[in-house]
Structure 1
């Protein structure tokens, strides 16, 4: 090329170079995208016709720790797999110098070239290095197929141990799909971004203690190959579980662990002071643990273990909990069949007959390591009841009691703006969301949720909860996932009230009158929100007074049983 031609090309590149005013932002890598403001730096591709994945849009922002990018395409694909033919690659000129790095396209001297589906990157510095995603501190979501992905790359990384990644305040970014040669931006254009170091609102760490003792704390935890009976790891699990103090626990990968071993651990770690202690049941590698009695279980589902839990009378309802560990990795067909199976099970539970019939409006939860790393349809089925194999599992339909979708709880890290639940830096994949909590939001409200990763917690928080820095990484490659639930009042108390008794005054500070209408013998019990009986009285009368003044302020349940065993339940507020 002549010097005149080079000059003309340089002028053309200048004319087609796009630099938009940068804006820092507090981005959460959780696969939801609701925090990506339209005002953020955005490059929209020119209209074109390509076969396969068409790269449409790229957004960029940053905070002090990360560079954030959001990719949008015309169809769904898997960023780190080849389920839909793709060779999506991200190139960054990290020093804004066309004479250094790899000449990937006119106007770019790319220092970093990320090949997502091959799980590595070219680091085009001196000396050249092939690096893994962990060295870039690369985070991405979602882990399932989507037409949008959000990506974080650490700003202060030294990927090869010698050369810092970002050495200029302005960088150039190029996105390519080598499967069809689509580029964003196209030849003749460049896309620049300048870091904005305006501070963003700091992340507020989540208090990991339960805020209300009336709530039910669910813990989903993959123990990584029988970790709870591994002498080198069990002490880490002990610290974690003591700090979390859950009520119901779904443990997975307990292949050679017995239910009796888990019961012994929990009775030692979190003694309940009851005659039985903790209840444990096992199916395959799944062990379900509950502080309340497990009164029924179903064993016909593949890698899914539904049980019915007898909640205390303060809740006035049972609870259906399903512990799950769907097939891993490339087994998309198996995972879809398992999702179909669960949807059919819940639809059966909502209607009379079949293998299960629940009382109407029985709350239900579903959790575990779902291994959702392929097609998004599996998650869609679990939430919506959109069964794919209708010939085997039926027509499908809405799963919640009000014929709406179930809710997937967005459990974020307690100390990071991240939603990943699994991390194993030596396996190549970026940290991902594999563990889920899904529930009936017609009957339940998720009051608090989080993922615990002790390695990222500051020392004062570790001390506060009696944890050590490396507890979670030494216990498992999965992190404990927690949600605290409340049961809707109109379902668990008010719909069970009868009209043959009244209590007053309510709220009260001391003595209440219980008007029973009819002469009979009655057992009257006052229960706190944990279901513990704090006061009992037996009478043979039509009314009585009860002094609750010594009780602490709070919510109580008044249970009244007559000689025929008929029961009336009232809610009492003590000031």
Structure 2
């Protein structure tokens, strides 16, 4: 089998590794040893590879190893794929310390670490998520925590290209050699795709990388506070609060929201209570001279409820039932919409929660597309300057978000998608659940009318990415966002175009 026809590679030097693509690269494209570019040079893990240096396929800084790859002629949801994709790493470049194999793809490697996307399903289940394994010279596999290794992969949707990272300073102990990845020096690896029996059926050429001296201690943490709300702006926060958790852990949500100081909060998964009761919670937890006003969709999450909009500003409820067909049955779209009078102009504010789960082309993905079409048509009828925030559950294809914002800006262009980085990190991730097989990902988005507004700030609050000193200064705990919900708040500050 000519494996290069399925997965081909660029070989690069120090700090660089593989790219899997449908192309052949001449040997002259090998980079000079010692040349490297890392996240400090602008790399953001978001599934968009335009920020990578030309020809670079893997980048190492003092905290993480990053890899980008593409499956030739294939596009699927990486963590819900029809077959497993594996990164095999000889982390110290020494074949005597890891598992050796007679498989052609692994020739010359002593594999110490395997990162497996869409691992083999157990007992007839679905392939989903990612797993990490340490291997020794006897071939013994020890499962490691992807959370301890800070594994992130992007995007969460089917794509031509994917990016992944893992930590060089993992939490806890791991039965791995210390040279190379975990300290400094040479490492090698290979990317491969497995068949339905778990055998390698396609692979790239072996890559080599020289890792710089690792930075000891925790990963990079923010020492300065998140951006404050600019003058003459409105701060919008979109927040999936995980099964009405503010009623169960009020003080934690109070800390988070008081620090963020939002003007408009777009809520998902707040099922319990009436709109008056939700307004009472906000007024009690975030008191000032003004009371809070809330619009809340009726019912439960099963019939279009669990979404709400909270603000101290004047608000008018525009929510009406929105129903689409799903296998010839009525399906209620989860949305709340209101007109809000803000200091930056009248706003049509929308909180949405699209269908969960699935993969590219799955029934859930098809339903999300239908929900997006219905929402887009309803918002086109309402008009105005629109802000949409919510849990879009984009784990299939990118199409629903494009449909959602298509042609409904004031100038008939598409709504802009706020590029909200995780504050204190170089990823775009809004969801994380240590009990889930999936690695952190971007499920929550804010779209807005860029004919009317400019997004001056856009970030995701993750308290685990903050230093102890900063947390103390802000009155937060490191586990606040993780414990409050499996989603993190997305924050966008909007100003009028031209500052008017």
Q: Distance in 2 between matches of 1:307 and 1:81?
A: 33
Map of 1:192 onto structure 2: 208
Q: Distance in 2 between matches of 1:403 and 1:198?
A: 50
Note closer, same or farther for the CA distance 1:323–1:249 as it changes in structure 2 (3 Å cut).
same
Q: Distance in 2 between matches of 1:273 and 1:157?
A: 47
Aligned partner of residue 369 in structure 2, secondary structure: helix
Q: Distance in 1 between matches of 2:226 and 2:131?
A: 35
Alignment of 1:171-320 (within 5 A): 171-179=187-195, 181-185=201-205, 190-197=206-213, 207-208=225-226, 210-230=228-248, 233-274=249-290, 277-283=291-297, 284-301=305-322, 302-312=332-342, 315=344, 317-320=345-348
Q: Give unpaired runs (5+ residues) of structure 1.
A: 1-15, 41-58, 350-355, 386-397, 494-575
Map of 1:378 onto structure 2: 400
Alignment partner for residue 99 of structure 2, among 90, 97, 102? 102
Q: Distance in 2 between matches of 1:67 and 1:332?
A: 31
Higher mean alpha-carbon deviation, 87-96 vs 208-217, is at 208-217
Note closer, same or farther for the CA distance 1:205–1:324 as it changes in structure 2 (3 Å cut).
farther
Map of 1:91 onto structure 2: 88
Q: Give unpaired runs (5+ residues) of structure 2.
A: 1-26, 120-129, 298-304, 323-331, 359-363
Alignment of 1:127-142 (within 5 A): 128-142=141-155
| Higher RCO (CA 8 Å, separation ≥ 6 residues) | 2
Map of 1:411 onto structure 2: 420
Higher mean alpha-carbon deviation, 452-461 vs 297-306, is at 297-306
8 Å contact kept, 2:222–2:466: no
8 Å contact kept, 1:364–1:440: yes
Q: Distance in 1 between matches of 2:225 and 2:495?
A: 17
Q: CA deviation at 1:341?
A: 1.1
Q: CA deviation at 1:130?
A: 2.4
Aligned partner of residue 73 in structure 1, secondary structure: coil
Higher mean alpha-carbon deviation, 368-377 vs 29-38, is at 29-38
Note closer, same or farther for the CA distance 1:293–1:164 as it changes in structure 2 (3 Å cut).
farther
Q: Report the TM-score, using the length of structure 2 for normalisation.
A: 0.78
Q: CA deviation at 1:365?
A: 0.6
Q: CA deviation at 1:451?
A: 0.9
Q: CA deviation at 1:159?
A: 7.0
Is 1:439 aligned to 2:472, yes or no?
no
8 Å contact kept, 1:92–1:111: yes
Q: Distance in 2 between matches of 1:478 and 1:253?
A: 11
Note closer, same or farther for the CA distance 1:464–1:136 as it changes in structure 2 (3 Å cut).
closer
RMSD over aligned CA atoms reads 2.6
Q: Distance in 2 between matches of 1:203 and 1:476?
A: 21
8 Å contact kept, 1:131–1:160: no
- Rg (Cα) greater in structure: 1
8 Å contact kept, 1:138–1:151: yes
8 Å contact kept, 2:386–2:409: no
Note closer, same or farther for the CA distance 1:36–1:454 as it changes in structure 2 (3 Å cut).
same
Map of 2:136 onto structure 1: 125
Aligned length: 420
Alignment partner for residue 481 of structure 1, among 460, 466, 490? 490
Map of 2:112 onto structure 1: 111
Q: Deviations over 1:109-163 (max 9, x none)?
A: 1111222012213321275312342233211111111111111110122676443
Alignment partner for residue 342 of structure 1, among 361, 372, 375? 375
Aligned partner of residue 372 in structure 2, secondary structure: helix
Aligned partner of residue 147 in structure 1, secondary structure: coil
Q: Distance in 2 between matches of 1:281 and 1:289?
A: 7
Note closer, same or farther for the CA distance 1:399–1:242 as it changes in structure 2 (3 Å cut).
same
Note closer, same or farther for the CA distance 1:399–1:116 as it changes in structure 2 (3 Å cut).
same
Aligned partner of residue 323 in structure 1, secondary structure: strand
Is 1:326 aligned to 2:354, yes or no?
yes
Q: Distance in 1 between matches of 2:306 and 2:117?
A: 32
Q: Distance in 2 between matches of 1:266 and 1:132?
A: 37
Map of 1:565 onto structure 2: none
Q: Distance in 1 between matches of 2:287 and 2:227?
A: 18
Alignment of 1:399-478 (within 5 A): 399-478=408-487
Runs of 4+ in 1 over 6 A off after TM superposition: 16-19, 202-206
Note closer, same or farther for the CA distance 1:266–1:19 as it changes in structure 2 (3 Å cut).
same
Q: CA deviation at 1:485?
A: 0.4
8 Å contact kept, 2:68–2:162: yes
Aligned partner of residue 130 in structure 1, secondary structure: strand
8 Å contact kept, 1:136–1:159: no
8 Å contact kept, 1:24–1:197: no
